[in-house]
Amino acid sequence: MSLRAFHILFIALSVLMAAACSAWAFLNQAGVIFGGCSALVSVGLVVYGVRFLSKTRNIIV
C-alpha cells in the first residue's frame, strides 16, 4: 500500500472519529460548539479526501 492509499484510509478513519465526537457531544449534551465543530471537521475531511484523490491521481507510486 502506498502513502497515498494509506493517507486516504487515515482520512476515512479521521472522518469516522470526528463524526463519533460530534455524536458524543450532542448525545451527552457535553458541548454544542464541540459537537458542531466536529461535524464540520468530518465534512471538511470528506471534501479534502475527494480533492486529494483527484489532485494526486497523476503521481506515480
Partner 1 sequence: MQIPHEVTARPDTGLYNSKLGIWLFLASEVMLFGGLFSGYIFLRMGAEPGYWPHGLLNVPVGTMNTAVLIVSSVTVVMAWAALKMRQFLQYKMYMLITIICGIIFLGVKLSYEYPQKFDHFGAFIRKDSLSKYEAYLGNEFLKSKNLDPRVEISGHLLDAPKGSPYEAVAKKNAEHFKHMLHEEGIGGGHGDGHGAQVQVQTEATDDYVIQLDPANARPTDPANEAPSFLPKKQTMMTAVVKAADVENASMFVPRHSPYFAIYFTITGLHGLHVLGGVLVFIYFWGPGSKLYQRNPEHLANRVEVAGLFWHFVDLVWIFVFPLFYLL
Positions touching partner 1 (CB under 8 A) are: 1-4, 6-7, 10, 13-14, 17, 20-21, 24-25, 28-31, 33-34, 41, 45, 48, 52, 56, 59-61
Task: Extract the C-alpha cell encoding 42.
Answer: 468530518
Residue whose C-alpha cell reads 470526528 in the numeric block: 18
Name the residue nearer to partner 1 (CB basis): 10 or 50: 10
Q: Work out how close the CB of 22 gets to partner 1 at its nearest, in angstroms, rounded to a whole number.
A: 11
Contact between 20 and 40 (Cβ < 8 Å) = no
DSSP state at residue 28: T
CB 28 to partner 1: min, Å: 5
DSSP assignment letter at 56: T
